[in-house]
Amino acid sequence: MAKNKLNKNWLHDHINDPYVKLAQKEGYRARAAYKLKEIDESEKLIKQGQVVVDLGSTPGSWSQYVRKKMSGKEGGGITGTIIGLDMLPMDPVADVHFILGDFREAKALRQLDVILEGRKADVVLSDMAPNLSGIPTADSARMEHLIDLAIEFSQLHMKPSGALLVKCFKDMGFSQVVEKFRAEFKTVKQVKPKASRDKSSEIFLLGRGLKNPGVRNAVEEDETSLDI
């Protein structure tokens, strides 16, 4: 009974959520678009001409927002490159390159290299979150692992002056994640957009400027030479 009541309360809140209604009105696939919109408007993240990578992009609302920011009009093309990656399928978004697969694996990385054509990303976005087990230690470890992957991806595929935005949860190993960001980025900022529900511990971390750009590349090259 308690679970049914909880589900009904969530459904009631969701249906009456102003951001859900706004997303339906403006054609976004999820209310999450407004979290990115708020952060972008305050931090000036997305600009025309950039290369933007959206990790864990499905269902596509962040890619939709980036596309709109790079264009300003539907169907008219964009100035820049948007790449979405996810292990789950995503319905096409105009002008967005979508790669279905695990970005740690060779097949997805080859597709990424073809689209990048030797370029690096200006901005890497990650709205990734783990499937929760309800066990705090396990959930914290899973969240931290996803953020580690986003940082590693940025070390390999982002410009030294680039920015990484990731979703975190304050009750999931947050202090350790902040320390990792401070070790890797010149500036680190915590952002809680109004579109994040008040009841949620969700918060976003924004890191700008890699402290050690190319370090992972150098390590990988050394390991490759040892293997030969």
- As a whole number of angstroms, the distance between CA 30 and CA 34 comes to 9
Structural tokens at position 54? 């959206």
Q: What is the pLDDT of residue 212?
A: 81
The response to whether 127 counts as a known ligand-binding position is yes
Domain boundaries along the sequence of the chain: 29-227
Handedness of CA 155, 161, 167, 169 (dihedral sign): positive
**Radius of gyration of the chain from its Cα atoms, rounded to whole angstroms:** 18
Measured from the Cβ of residue 224, the count of other Cβ atoms closer than 10 Å reads 9
| Structure-token pair, residue 183 | 């070790």
Token representation of residue 120: 């690096």
- With pLDDT > 70 as the criterion, what percentage of the chain qualifies? 84
Q: Which amino acid is at 33?
A: A
Written as six digits, the tokens of 221 are 């090259």
pLDDT, average across residues 33-48: 97
Q: Is the pLDDT of residue 217 over 80?
A: no
- Tell whether 102 is in a known binding site: yes
The answer, as to whether pTM is greater than 0.85, is yes
Do 80 and 49 contact (CB within 8 A), yes or no?
yes
Q: What confidence score (pLDDT) does residue 11 get?
A: 52
| Residue 10 labeled ligand binder | no
| pLDDT above 80 for 9 | no
- Is 3.40.50.150 the CATH number for 29-227? yes
Q: Out of 5, 167, 180, 192, which one is annotated catalytic?
A: 167
- Known binder of ligand: residue 17? no
180 is an active site residue: no
- Kindly report, residue by residue over 163-215, the tens digit of the pLDDT: 999 999 998 889 999 999 999 999 999 999 999 887 889 999 999 999 987 65
| Per-position b or e across 66-83, b if 16+ CB within 10 A of its CB | bbbbbbeeeeeebebbbb
For residues 100 and 63, give the distance between their C-alpha atoms in angstroms, rounded to a whole number. Answer: 14
